[in-house]
Each structure stands twice: as structure tokens, then as C-alpha cells.
Amino acid sequence: MTVPVQPAATVAPLRDGPHGLEVLLLKRSPTLVFAPGAWVFPGGRVDPADHRQGADRAPRLAAVREAAEEAGLLLDPDALVEVAHWTTPPGQPRRYATWFFVADANRCGGVRVDGSEAVDYRWLTPADALAAGRQHELTLIRPTIATLTELLDFPDVATVLAGFAARRATHHLPRP
């Protein structure tokens, strides 16, 4: 049976922490079908309502909506910077064509996980997040690892946003 590919969007909220750039990771509920228990950025499916301002804005609106629903963050869709586009490989129980964005979350208030999709959160430097993944303290999926790896090159939020805005988003086609 062929699993349909659903449009989705995710955003890596960033802040300037005491030890440099930090990124918000949410722990997905272990009861979810896709990536149960994984530590990911807020995100999810692009809903029909996200198309109210046109198909071009739908992924941005979905990413912002998901960040608000899952983490209580209020982000500006016009301030998101596209980083990548990933498509889930065949053979997965759910498949998504996902836009990845980064956003400045320095003034977005505290995080409040929803308790259903997201059950915990951590602000970590990209290096600490990757180290925790290597040590099996956090379960990280490939797109999250790739994004965290790209963030290693940046000292702060402003530099991340400028750096990604100056280049084209990377497209990752599915591999079985």
C-alpha cells in the first residue's frame, strides 16, 4: 500500500543563551505513530486553514501554528527563514514533504508544551544536542541532526538568520 505524502512544516526556534546559540527541541509523545519519543523541532501537517493567505504562505503559517500549539511560542511567519525541505522516504507509516525554517525566539516568552504531541522540552546548544544524540540521551531523527549540524557554524541568532537568508534552501529527496 502506498502511503500518501502530506505537506508539513517545522521551525527551529532559536535564542541567544548564556553559552551561545540555543535551539528548542521538543520530545514527541511515545504514543505517536511518526517518530515516537524523538526530540524534534515544533512542527506538523499543513492544514487546509493554513492556505487562507495562499499556497506560498501555507508552510510558514503551519510552522507558526504548530509552534504555538506544541510549545506556546508566538512566532512571526514573515520572520521565518527557510533552511531545507525534506521528504520522508518510502516505507514509513507516515510520509511528509516538510519545509524546515529557523526563527528568532528571543522574545517569544516561555515554553509550554501541550502534553499530548510534545511531552517535554529542552533549550540546548546545537553541539550539546548532537552530543546527547550520540550518547543516546536523546533520540534524534536525520533531518533534526542535519539541521543541528548546520547550526554548529553560527554563534548567535542574528548570524543564523542572515546566513540562511543568503543561501537557497537545501532539498533532500527521499532515500529508501
Render pLDDT for 38-67 as a digit per residue (tens, 0 to 9): 999 999 999 999 988 888 899 999 999 999
In a domain, 176, yes or no: no
pTM of the entire structure? 0.93
Rounded CA-CA distance 51/30 in Å is: 30
- Helix, strand, coil % (nearest 5) of the chain? 30, 30, 40
In a domain, 110, yes or no: yes
Give the model's pLDDT for residue 70.
95
pLDDT over 80 (residue 175): no
In a domain, 161, yes or no: yes
Specify the 3-state DSSP secondary structure of 38.
Answer: coil
CATH number at residue 161: 3.90.79.10
In a domain, 148, yes or no: yes
In a domain, 175, yes or no: no
Residues 17-26, mean pLDDT to the nearest whole number: 96
- Specify the number of domains making up the chain: 1
pLDDT over 70 (residue 156): yes
Domain span including residue 56: 5-170
In a domain, 96, yes or no: yes
In a domain, 21, yes or no: yes
pLDDT over 90 (residue 92): no
Which residues, in sequence order, are bridge partners of residue 7?
97
pLDDT over 90 (residue 158): yes
In a domain, 95, yes or no: yes
